[in-house]
Amino acid sequence: MTLVRNEFRKLSTMRAVWLLLAAEQAVIIAGIASLLVGNSNDPHDPMTSRQAVMHVGLVAMFTLLLGVLAVAGEYRHKTITDTYLATPKRGRVVWAKVITYTIAGLGFGLVAAVTATVVGSIWLSAKGGSLYLGDTEVWQTLVGCILWNALFAAIGVGVGALVRNLVAAVAVALGWIAVIEMSMSSLFGSSARWLPFAAGKSLGHFTPDSDLLPQWAGAVVLIAYTVLFVAAAVSTTVRRDVT
Amino acid sequence: MTDIVIQGLSKWFGPVHAVRELGFDVPAGRITGFLGPNGAGKTTTLRMLLGLVRPTGGQALIGGLRYVEIAAPRRVVGAVLEATGCHPGRRARDHLRILAQVTGVSRSRVDEVLDLVDLTDAGHRRVGGYSLGMRQRLGLAGALLGSPDVLILDEPGNGLDPGGMAWLRGLLRDHAAAGGTVLVSSHVLSEVAQTADTVVIIGNGTLRFAGPIRELGDSLEIAFLRLTEIDGMAAASGNDASPGKGVAR
């Protein structure tokens, strides 16, 4: 418990965290604006509302980076030495970070949801429509996207602990989403829906966008990835030398 | 009284035999200097002692326990390694508060150690703007938070001005006089000769000497060069502990 509180204190004293949070809001605002600035989307269609709040899920890449930063950033600035000197049972450090950053990712998701709801409402009412908050599917999308943020933060902790080099870890995380998973989905077609980012979209209820998994299955798959990454991170962190 | 005991300690990094069957004691109540040329295995030995690097063989014990077995390690051992760092965007006081929490000491202790290392006025500043000497003092402040029995310091004099050096010398002497254990690695032999009671000299991962400085027979520098000479000739260039080699050519 002390370790989790300690991780929260570290998190709140890093400027990069607040910059990531600000950047996330900027992306949501820009994304929703570009969705509604044209006339192609009907402001009276609940699907337009859902597309607006889907941005909450797309910014999960920021919580992925947040998680990466939590571990690889400690190696980068050599604060990891002090961290492990205080807690030589290193597996406990990884677990504390997973818990802390899952909660922080949830927080990022909630803030993003508020931003998207407010910005979406303003844009849609300016267009004569409204954000369909009474629509179950809009809520399913919002909640799924918030959870996606939380799980991606935990996966980020795993990636950061496995790769350790900050620049390499960020490159791996962003490269996976932007390049590798994209090309794999064009190679393997619908089997690519089992991949992490696609599972996130399934959890974020991006249907009927493409051939995604049902929302519950997306959740299960993404949780499975999280467990896998955390387990790998704990087992390697405990064994590897800190030099 | 918390002694350090190192027995048959070995480490292989892939094909490199960094530390070979190393064994020595660091008794409480004295300042022990830990010396060796670059690449002799000092840092690796300290890291094994602190549970950061896993030994291939042998063991390193602090008060009879491996580091990982110590219940509240920062209250028993205060360590500043070369690789100890601070997040540059963090304020010094925040950095120490983070450490205080996991050390298990109160916030008021943070102000005490800041005062002790003379950083009270700079405590609100971000560490990124600190000089090397200030960072070194901040590192020491972090190590002292838990009022540990054992101090393990890697090149603590780096970046300290003459006043800072004198202050550090006084701190280490007081600590040893009060029954504490002090293990300090350094390349500044004149400083070690002034401060330490006992020295451990290693070369190529093996023990070359362990005992009181006066038993060396020569001055510390001459003895050091004699004891580690063989490494200077064997090791690749870049080994700055063999100044004689350059002169001879």
Q: Does B136 touch chain A (CB under 8 A)?
A: no
Amino acid at B148: P
Dig out the tokens for A87 from the structure: 């807690």
Looking at the partner chain, which of B52, B88, B101 has a beta carbon nearest the beta carbon of A81? Answer: B52
Q: Per-residue pLDDT tens for B42-58?
A: 999 999 999 999 999 99
CA distance B246 to A157: 49
How confident is the model at residue B240, as a pLDDT? 41
Amino acid at A154: A
> Who has greater pLDDT, A201 or B232?
A201
Are B104 and B70 in contact by the 8 Å Cβ rule? The answer is no
Comparing CA positions, the residue from B100, B20, B171 lying closest to residue A82 is B100
* Strand ranges, E, within B118-217: 150-154, 181-185, 198-203, 206-212
Comparing CA positions, the residue from B186, B193, B223 lying closest to residue B208 is B223
Confidence bin at B243 (pLDDT 50/70/90): very low
Degrees (nearest 5) of the Cα angle B21, B24, B29? 160
Looking at the partner chain, which of A2, A84, A243 has a beta carbon nearest the beta carbon of B101? Answer: A2
pLDDT for B234 beyond 70: no
* Strand ranges, E, within B155-215: 181-185, 198-203, 206-212
The reported pTM is: 0.91
pLDDT for A111 beyond 50: yes
How confident is the model at residue B218, as a pLDDT? 85
Comparing CA positions, the residue from B119, B118, B169, B175 lying closest to residue B151 is B175
> Who has greater pLDDT, B233 or A47?
A47
Q: Report, as an integer, the average pLDDT of A62-80.
A: 96
Degrees (nearest 5) of the Cα angle B17, B21, B23? 135
CA distance B88 to B97: 15
CA distance B249 to B238: 15
CA distance B70 to B51: 11
pLDDT for A59 beyond 60: yes
pLDDT for A45 beyond 90: no
Q: Per-residue pLDDT tens for A226-238?
A: 999 999 999 999 9
Across A104-118, A171-185, B87-101, B230-244, least confident range: B230-244
Q: Distance, in angstroms, between A235 CA and closest chain B CA? A: 14
Return the DSSP state at A178.
Answer: I
pLDDT for B1 beyond 90: no
Cis upstream peptide for A88 (omega within 30°): no
How confident is the model at residue B236, as a pLDDT? 45
**Helices A136-163 + A90-126 axis angle, to 10:** 150
Contact residues, chain A, for B74 at CB < 8 Å: 85-86
CA distance A9 to A104: 12
At a CB cut-off of 8 Å and minimum separation 6, what does B246 contact? Answer: none
CA distance A34 to B136: 51
Are A199 and A213 in contact by the 8 Å Cβ rule? The answer is yes
Q: Per-residue pLDDT tens for B170-229?
A: 999 999 999 999 999 998 999 999 999 999 999 999 999 999 999 998 899 999 999 998
What is the overall mean pLDDT for chain B? 90
Residue corresponding to tokens 């794999």: A184
Looking at the partner chain, which of B53, B81, B94 has a beta carbon nearest the beta carbon of A13? Answer: B94
Q: Does B84 touch chain A (CB under 8 A)?
A: yes
CA distance B61 to B63: 6
CA distance B146 to B70: 14
Are B105 and B148 in contact by the 8 Å Cβ rule? The answer is no
CA distance B71 to B52: 16
- Among A82, A87, A238, most B C-beta atoms within 10 A, so best to mutate, is A82
Q: Per-residue pLDDT tens for B130-154?
A: 999 999 999 999 999 999 999 999 9
